[in-house]
Amino acid sequence: MAKTYKPLDKLLKSTGMTFTAIAEKADMEDYTLYRLRQRPSKLNGEIIAKISNATGLDETKLFEISYFFAQKVDISQRKVS
């Protein structure tokens, strides 16, 4: 099982909802949310809006996590490969 990105997990858990409940309320499959938790850079505006509406989280916080992951983690992984 691949690791998920802890800052995103922590933010989602702060809602008091389970990942399954978040996925259901955001109208996505569990595995889709799981894949997004593995690679938050795949969060686009539509998905961020869905998760924000489902959880009440600020869209900006979700975007910042996605952006940070894309800038730091994705880039460092490309350098290693």
- Average model confidence (pLDDT) across the chain: 91
Longest alpha-carbon distance in the chain: 37
Per-residue pLDDT at 79: 62
Per-residue pLDDT at 71: 85
Rounded Cα gap, residues 59 and 76, in angstroms: 25
Q: pTM for the whole thing?
A: 0.85
Per-residue pLDDT at 6: 95
Tokens of 49: 């809006």
Per-residue pLDDT at 14: 97
Alpha carbons within 13 angstroms on the beta-carbon side of residue 59 total 8
Per-residue pLDDT at 77: 61
Each residue of 23-60: pLDDT tens digit? 999 999 999 999 999 999 999 999 999 999 999 999 99
At a CB cut-off of 8 Å and minimum separation 6, what does 7 contact?
65, 68
